[in-house]
Amino acid sequence: MNHRTDISAAWDCLVLPSPDCRLHDDCDPNIPSKNYGRGGLRISHYAIGELGVVQFVWSPNVYLPETPVATFPESIRDPMAWDLGWHSPIPDGKPVNDEDGWTVWPWYGTRFDTCEFFDGGCFYDGSSLNADPLLDELIRGGTDAMWPLLDAYYDDIFRVKV
């Protein structure tokens, strides 16, 4: 099992000019369809195996120095778990035989045409609610405590497919 951590920069597209809007080149806070808001630092942990990839995404809610954090509600100033999910070249679920004898995989994930882990796209599903226990463990024990939980989630998702 390979582990990888990515850290994405914070952004603030509400200030003109906005050199820190790294999400889109056409960011313009005066045009609603091109105002991409602001966001804090995002940290993504991946457990990458032969059958697929699982991810745990969270934010420490650290923003750019010029972002007026004092105006934010208290609830979004604390670390926040965003996602616990999986990427797979095939949909999740156990194979079943249909009435014509074909083996089919029930489709529980959303199909994406592009995927950073698989050529030709992937299926993805995740849950922000299920991510909370990993954030708790990360805060209490660091990555040494979090990686075994993410590896166990990988086994729960993918080992039924072998």
Residue 143 within a domain: yes
Residue 157 structural domain: 2-8+40-161
Residue 88 within a domain: yes
Residue 34 within a domain: no
Residue 112 within a domain: yes
Distances (CA, A) of 3 to 27, 53, 150: 33, 10, 10
- Alpha-carbon distance of 112 to 55, in angstroms, equals 16
Return the pLDDT at 139: 96
Return the pLDDT at 151: 96
In the block, residue with structure tokens 């313009």: 28
The neighbouring-strand residues paired with 129 are: none
Residue 91 within a domain: yes
pLDDT per residue, tens digit, the chain (162 aa), is 999 999 998 877 776 555 555 556 666 667 777 766 778 899 999 999 988 999 999 999 988 888 888 777 777 778 999 999 999 887 655 555 555 555 545 546 778 889 999 998 888 889 999 999 999 999 999 999 999 999 999 988 887 543
In the block, residue with structure tokens 């995989």: 105
Residue 13 within a domain: no
Residue 56 within a domain: yes
Distances (CA, A) of 22 to 6, 27, 123: 16, 9, 26
Residue 103 within a domain: yes
Number of folded domains in the chain? 1
- Alpha-carbon distance of 7 to 10, in angstroms, equals 9
